[in-house]
Amino acid sequence: MSAFRTVFVKAAVLCALVAGCDGTFVFDGPSNAGGSLGQTGAGGTSGDAAPLACRSDADCGLGSLHCDASSARCVECLSNAQCALPLAACDLTLRRCVACVVDGDCGSNQKCDSSSDKCVQTCNTDDDCPGISCNPRHRICEQCDDDGDEDDCTPAGQCQPGSFQCVQCLSDVACAAPTPRCDLPDGKCVGCVDSRDCSSSTPFCNPTTHECITASY
């Protein structure tokens, strides 16, 4: 008698002894929880395959994407060497090229706002901020204030805390198809933020255009 038949017979006998058993048995098949190279378990488009995983830069499909071995994800950068002006610094948390991560990445009379990775102009008075005003508390030039309203940003902009600049979005809530994702820290609605937002048919998020595309090589 096969092992499967033996298990089935034992289950049937047990069922006969237990009230409420309807005679239906479900046997688990082989587990595929581990997956295989080529897919990860998160992200992607609902109803489509998961985004591609990677082992090397060659798996990332674009010269501007690099394989992060710690997450098996294709990212924009792993060091400053993979970035260029005007976004010459690599934010090692976001794994993307930004304007700055420290004050030294910015020009004279500027400092780096760590919450937005943007260089902001320092000031003492409004005279230091042509066309806009000087925030007296933070000593930086501001397009908008942080008073909770959006009257400084038009037509549908929002005031970004930290940089005090008007941006299109602060979260995905302000975005809609075909640009449903809010790209932070830029504050712009885009098609994808990284390759986890892409489907198997166009699995790579171009970090320059923020569009899901196929491999370019």
Q: Where are the beta strands (DSSP E) in 57-124?
A: 66-68, 73-75, 89-91, 96-98, 110-113, 118-121
The answer to whether the CB of 163 falls within 8 A of the CB of 120 is yes
Cis bond upstream, residue 178 (ω within 30): yes
CA atoms within 13 A on the CB side of 1: 8
Q: Tell me how many helices (H) and strands (E) the chain has.
A: 1, 14
* pLDDT score, position 47: 38
Given a cut of 70, the residues of the chain with pLDDT beneath it are 1-52, 146-151, 217
Please report the beta strands in 123-193, taking only residues with DSSP state E, as ranges in sequence order: 133-135, 140-142, 158-160, 165-167, 181-183, 188-190
Q: Which residues contact 85 (CB under 8 A, 6 or more apart)?
A: none
Element (H, E) at 33: none
Task: Supply the pLDDT for residue 4.
Answer: 40
pLDDT at 217: 62
The contacts of residue 159 (CB under 8 Å, 6+ apart) are: 143, 144, 145, 146, 150, 152, 153, 165, 166, 167
CA distance 122 to 104: 14
pLDDT value of position 152: 79
State pTM to two decimals. 0.70
pLDDT of residue 52: 63
- Count Cα neighbours of 109 within 13 Å in the Cβ-side half-sphere: 7
Tell me, what's the pLDDT at 181? 97
